[in-house]
Structure 1
């Protein structure tokens, strides 16, 4: 079983990823250095033939999740990258020299809470006192915090076990946790393995992925970034409109079976979204919730981390 991890990375691994991209991203303005993840940007750009006749040359760097993408951007090792929104909130909080220049909204269930098939937990209002596995600071962590707030419970009413998706899946199966807050395709794979989605956990929080650029690239490669943004938006739209073909490509890219991706695609569309007041408001609510939960040590104005002026 292959699981996709949007956040987990050990410090030593992060240093190695950045070292692998040690070439200065400003060395050649005719080259756009792009940080990608499995099933991310390149797969849809190739599907739509968007890598033909480029006015610049792309050099790709591969990353396991959003956190090292943002680290590489801040270090000047790449120009543009893609990843989940949760890691970006923490990057803003540390003053990273990075902006979000594009967005993809997940229209569908988003993260959910899954439990073993024999669990007594049926609804989301039964989570107080449970031990729940989730990646720290992820959109799935945000889901559980939002559920507790909706119920008027303290944010420490759940005992979190912060772990990667791989470890979370094993912990759920092994019985060391009561539930696993996670996203697709991991949730779909878990249900196929006998787990069950907890009623009321679907759609509690919005889910986005973001396109990031380093500040220096916005100054030096503005036109190239605008062009790249248009191409990736068209690719994301193609993926939403051609679910079967997209599923087949994702199988090759990720190792997760195409029929799993087709099932995910029947429930969820990943659509290009504008950087607008709705998106920024959603991100601000998440940042404020992280502050209340003690994940951040100061209030963040997320608007300062978004750049909506590419043209």
Structure 2
């Protein structure tokens, strides 16, 4: 147990900023890209979660020869990344499918610029192995630990709706993973909704049982978000285009070298090899299209959040989507098969 807690705490550093309540700016025309040779001296600030983005880029060699520097910052979940981008602390981050909805609802100064198919297998709802809870339908009156605005929050809400329950039928206890782990193992909450690699860690190190997973229930997507300020700056816009292509190539390498990638990932973030292999074997996010269908599924989730009172009003999610990088990324999309 102590090792699990230590890993969560050490890798779960929170960098926060305040999300602006000002009206979100309309999407601007992308500035003209500059030659990569002009990016010398530029540092792109990138948010990360549990080392995944940085570890993947470095393990694959995708950053070799990059004409700019990257400074990585680690966050516990997507919502603090959205806040940091709005506050100008980071230029880019990859989040789950729910943080951009909360960001849009708060008029965050970010745009969704890329999409990734994570499959949703690692986004699960866990109960103790000896719990009488057998399904989501049994959650009425139960307490659920979940990070507010995370993909696990969205997954929980969709599962409740599917089972004919509302958020008001349960007690949502908003905790980041390290605190949620403590509450769950001390039986101060009945249920833990979480995502990989935390799910994989819990499955490997705790007596738990999954009662639901996001596959086929939510879109299971991840999204690249960029700050409005970075998108408006010619040099940072150019660097982001280059970084997104490098990241897509890194995912292609990881997809083709899963054992090697899982080993490197575990070493980089301090995970047991079995945990790293399980998490990356099922939750590797493959680049995919920012399609109208995907954006529509995000709108459906935003509407559900508003109907349940989790956010004040549903944003028009499409206003927070910028497809300027679609043409350069499309040749790098991979089929999940």
| TM-score, length-scaled by structure 1 | 0.85
Quote the Cα distance in structure 2 between the aligned partners of 1:155 and 1:68. Answer: 23
Quote the Cα distance in structure 1 between the aligned partners of 2:318 and 2:246. Answer: 24
Quote the Cα distance in structure 2 between the aligned partners of 1:176 and 1:39. Answer: 29
With over 3 angstroms needed to count, the CA separation of the structure-2 counterparts of 1:208 and 1:32, relative to structure 1, is: farther
Counterpart residue number, 1:207? 220
Conserved? CA contact 1:7–1:138, under 8 Å: no
With over 3 angstroms needed to count, the CA separation of the structure-2 counterparts of 1:7 and 1:307, relative to structure 1, is: farther
- Where 1:291 maps in the other structure, the secondary structure is helix
Counterpart residue number, 2:127? 115
Q: Does residue 262 of the first structure (1) align with residue 306 of the second (2)?
A: no
Conserved? CA contact 2:13–2:74, under 8 Å: no
- Where 1:120 maps in the other structure, the secondary structure is coil
With over 3 angstroms needed to count, the CA separation of the structure-2 counterparts of 1:4 and 1:107, relative to structure 1, is: farther
What are the within-5 Å matches in structure 2 for residues 67-216 of structure 1?
Answer: 67-192=79-204, 193-198=206-211, 200-203=212-215, 204-216=217-229
Conserved? CA contact 1:124–1:201, under 8 Å: no
Counterpart residue number, 1:3? 8
Quote the Cα distance in structure 1 between the aligned partners of 2:298 and 2:148. Answer: 17
Quote the Cα distance in structure 1 between the aligned partners of 2:290 and 2:12. Answer: 23
Conserved? CA contact 2:44–2:239, under 8 Å: no
Deviation at 1:108, TM superposition (A): 4.5
Q: What is the aligned counterpart of 1:252 among 258, 263, 267?
A: 267
The range that moved more, 226-235 or 61-70, is 61-70
Quote the Cα distance in structure 2 between the aligned partners of 1:263 and 1:277. Answer: 31
Quote the Cα distance in structure 1 between the aligned partners of 2:213 and 2:138. Answer: 11
Counterpart residue number, 1:277? 292
Q: Does residue 60 of the first structure (1) align with residue 54 of the second (2)?
A: no
Quote the Cα distance in structure 1 between the aligned partners of 2:101 and 2:214. Answer: 22
Quote the Cα distance in structure 2 between the aligned partners of 1:41 and 1:233. Answer: 11
The range that moved more, 116-125 or 83-92, is 83-92
Conserved? CA contact 1:107–1:271, under 8 Å: no
* Deviation digits for residues 122-159 of structure 1 (CA, Å, limit 9, x no counterpart): 12221112111111222212222112211222331111
* Deviation digits for residues 208-258 of structure 1 (CA, Å, limit 9, x no counterpart): 222222223223233332221111111122223322111112112221112
Where do 5+ consecutive residues of structure 2 fail to align? 19-37, 329-337
| TM-score, length-scaled by structure 2 | 0.79
Where do 5+ consecutive residues of structure 1 fail to align? 17-27
Work out the number of aligned pairs and report it. 295
Counterpart residue number, 1:24? none
